[in-house]
Amino acid sequence: MTDSKKCPVCGALVKGRSDKKFCSKKCKSIDQYEHRQKTETFYLKVDRQLKINRRILKKYNKSGYTIIRQGELIGEGFDPKYFTHYWKNKKGDVYFFVYEFGFLRKSENGKDKYVLVTWQDYMGRKYEP
């Protein structure tokens, strides 16, 4: 009783071991290359958004502590889902950081705002990009 499998790349019949997936080394290489392309595209997207977020936070946070409307940052292309790390203060507020620039979402008088900060020594181990 033979169990015929088809190659996921070219559709040819796969011969050999029962756990073999591809008909040839060429098809296996093509599959690995295509998978790597998808993975690298994801990482490039994340890296691009982190760079945009850092540039925007740096632009608006010249003093080390700034409060700004959420809409202004979002309008520039800022996406708060992308950050590198976070820090939680003693009050329980969680500041999200994009490298050395941080932000905290606040709501004042029904308006969404961000508190922008710069990494400080008291926050723990010094951050070095």
Q: Is residue 6 part of a domain?
A: no
More confident residue, 1 or 23: 23
pLDDT at 122: 83
Q: Specify if 63 maps to a domain.
A: yes
Q: How many domains does the chain have?
A: 1
Q: Is residue 7 part of a domain?
A: no
pLDDT greater at residue 73 or residue 1: 73
Higher pLDDT, 1 or 46: 46
Which residues have CB under 8 Å from 23's CB, separation 6+? Answer: 7, 9, 10, 12, 13, 14, 15
Domain extent, residue 37, equals 22-123
Residue 126: its pLDDT value, please?
56
Query: For residue 1, what pLDDT is reported?
Result: 41
Q: Which amino acid is at 88?
A: K
Instruction: Give the per-residue pLDDT at 38.
Output: 77
Q: Is residue 39 in some structural domain?
A: yes
8 occurs within a structural domain: no
Q: How confident is the model at residue 124 (pLDDT cuts 50, 70, 90)?
A: confident
Residues recorded for the chain: 129
Q: 30 in a domain, yes or no?
A: yes
72-76, 94-98, 125-129: range with lowest mean pLDDT? 125-129
- Residue 117: the pLDDT is 95
Which ranges constitute the DSSP H helices of 1-129? 25-60, 70-76
Residue 5 lies in a domain: no
3 part of a folded domain: no
